[in-house]
Structure formats: structure tokens, C-alpha cells
């Protein structure tokens, strides 16, 4: 009888522990989403300004139709992010379900990465090594920024950096020549480095959030 009681007690403790871990995971996800959404207003402004800068740089090389088309795609992406931020602001302080918001955020980040990656085909300054270097530098700078602004969500940096790096490597391979191949290889190495650091940053953020909840439990 004692053993039976001990076993039932163990099962009860285990179920409580699982429930507690699930609650902790839900709370961590909510905080991760809040941190990601908090960065969106800054990302909006930076995206538009950077896109304008690139369009201006190739105004004498690329057809205006291409420039206008790509910039319109960027604006549509920014508009989608603004709408997402506006809708999320209504539930910011609530106990919302994290899954749908996480998926919506990751989808928008992926779409944004694809559109920025398409700059390698729509407004790419073919044959101009100086401007190609500028484009790669800008994309690298944005990629580095995502390790800060997007790392609260585990796969978010990869969702943006992956398409951009892939499209630029393909375009540089099509460009051909020692310069293009060298830059393409550097992009791959840079991609791996950024993803490693963004993964570490995500773990730090997740650990900090978990520690915050545990401290709150101790205070209670």
C-alpha cells in the first residue's frame, strides 16, 4: 500500500512538473514574440531607407520599371509588418496563444528575405564591381542586424538571411569571373558565421527569459 501511494504521488508530482514546464514554455514563447514585435517599428524605417538608397545607387544602370517594381515589393512587405504589429498591439498585454503569432511573424520575415534576395535579379548592377560590393555590403549589414532584431525567435534570422544569401550566390555564380566567385564564397562563409552567432544569441535570450520567470516565482 505504501508503494502504491508512493507511485501515485510520483505520478502526481510528474504531472504537475510537466504542466509547470508547459506553462513556462508558453510564457517564454509569449515573451519571445513580444521582443520580436518590439523591433518591428525600427525595422520598418530601416528597410525603406535602405531600399531607397540601393534604388538611387543603380538609377543610371537599372531600368526604372525594375527599380519601381522592387521598391513596391519592399513597401508591401513593410505594410504587412505594420498591419501585424498593429494587430498584435491589441493583445500585447494579454495571455495570447503564441503559435499563430509566431507563424505569422516567421512567414512575413521569410517573404521579406525573398524580396530582398530578389534584388540580386531585379536591380542587380551587373558588371559593376563597385556597386556589387556595395549591394553585398548592405545585405551583410542587414543580415548582421537580424542577429539582434530577430534572434528572439529561433528560426527568424535564417528565414531572412537564407533566401538573401541563396539568391546572391546564384546571381554571382551566373555573373562569373574570379571576383564574383570569390564574393559568392565569402557570402556562404558569412552566412554560416551569422547563423552560428544568431543561434547563440537566441539561447541567451531564451535563458534570460526563463530565469526571469523563475525569479518571479521565487518572489511570489
Residue-wise pLDDT tens digits, 153-168: 888 889 999 999 999 9
Question: pLDDT band at residue 72, thresholds of 50, 70 and 90?
Answer: very high
Of 58, 65, 27, 195, nearest to 120 by C-alpha is 58
Give pLDDT, residue 180.
92
How far apart are the C-alpha atoms of 3 and 11, rounded to whole Å? 12
Q: Helices marked H in 90-177 — which ranges?
A: 98-117, 119-122, 129-149, 156-175
Higher pLDDT, 194 or 5: 194
Task: Copy the grid coordinates of residue 142.
Answer: 542587414
Q: pLDDT-derived band of residue 22, with 50, 70 and 90 as boundaries?
A: low
Q: How far apart are CA 155 and CA 17, in angstroms?
A: 27
Q: How many domains does the chain have?
A: 1
| CA 156 to mean position of chain CA atoms | 3
Yes or no: say if 81 and 40 are a contact pair by the CB < 8 Å rule: yes
Give mean pLDDT, residues 90-119: 90
Residue 204 pLDDT class (50, 70, 90 cuts)? confident
DSSP letter at 97 equals: -
**Is residue 4 assigned to a domain?**
no
Q: What is the mean pLDDT of residues 122-129?
A: 93
State whether residue 128 is helix, strand or coil: coil
63 lies in some domain = yes
Long-range pairs of 205-209 with CB within 8 A, sequence gap ≥ 24: 205/32, 205/35, 205/151, 205/152, 206/28, 206/32, 209/27, 209/28, 209/31, 209/32
The answer to the question of residue 1 being in a domain is no
Assign 202 a pLDDT band (cuts: 50, 70, 90): confident
Global confidence as pTM: 0.82
Q: Band of the pLDDT at 116, cuts 50, 70, 90?
A: very high
CB pairs under 8 A, 24+ apart, for 198-207?
A: 198/146, 198/147, 198/150, 198/151, 198/157, 198/158, 199/154, 201/147, 201/148, 201/151, 202/151, 202/152, 202/153, 202/154, 205/32, 205/35, 205/151, 205/152, 206/28, 206/32
Q: Is residue 3 part of a domain?
A: no
Q: Which residues contact 163 (CB under 8 A, 6 or more apart)?
A: 110, 113, 114, 116, 117
Q: Residue 5: inside a domain, yes or no?
A: no
Range of the domain at 131: 11-219
The answer to whether 175 and 126 have CB atoms below 8 angstroms apart is yes
Domain assignment of residue 160, yes or no: yes
- Residue 2 counted as domain residue: no
In-domain check, residue 24: yes
Amino acid at each position: 500500500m505504501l508503494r502504491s501511494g508512493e507511485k501515485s504521488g510520483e505520478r502526481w508530482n510528474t504531472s504537475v512538473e510537466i504542466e509547470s514546464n508547459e506553462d513556462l514554455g508558453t510564457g517564454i514563447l509569449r515573451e519571445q514574440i513580444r521582443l520580436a514585435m518590439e523591433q518591428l517599428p525600427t525595422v520598418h524605417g530601416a528597410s525603406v531607407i535602405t531600399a531607397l538608397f540601393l534604388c538611387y545607387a543603380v538609377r543610371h544602370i537599372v531600368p526604372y520599371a525594375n527599380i519601381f517594381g522592387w521598391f513596391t515589393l519592399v513597401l508591401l512587405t513593410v505594410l504587412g509588418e505594420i498591419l501585424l504589429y498593429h494587430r498584435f498591439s491589441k493583445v500585447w498585454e494579454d495571455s495570447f496563444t503564441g503559435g499563430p503569432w509566431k507563424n505569422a511573424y516567421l512567414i512575413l520575415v521569410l517573404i521579406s528575405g525573398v524580396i530582398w534576395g530578389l534584388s540580386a535579379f531585379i536591380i542587380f548592377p551587373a558588371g559593376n564591381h563597385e556597386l556589387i560590393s556595395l549591394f553585398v555590403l548592405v545585405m551583410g549589414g542587414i543580415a548582421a542586424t537580424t542577429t539582434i532584431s530577430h534572434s528572439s525567435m529561433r528560426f527568424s534570422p535564417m528565414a531572412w538571411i537564407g533566401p538573401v544569401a541563396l539568391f546572391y550566390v546564384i546571381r554571382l555564380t551566373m555573373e562569373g569571373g574570379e571576383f564574383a566567385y570569390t564574393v559568392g564564397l565569402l557570402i556562404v562563409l558569412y552566412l554560416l558565421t551569422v547563423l552560428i552567432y544568431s543561434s547563440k544569441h537566441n539561447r541567451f535570450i531564451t535563458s534570460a527569459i526563463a530565469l526571469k520567470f523563475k525569479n518571479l516565482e521565487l518572489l511570489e
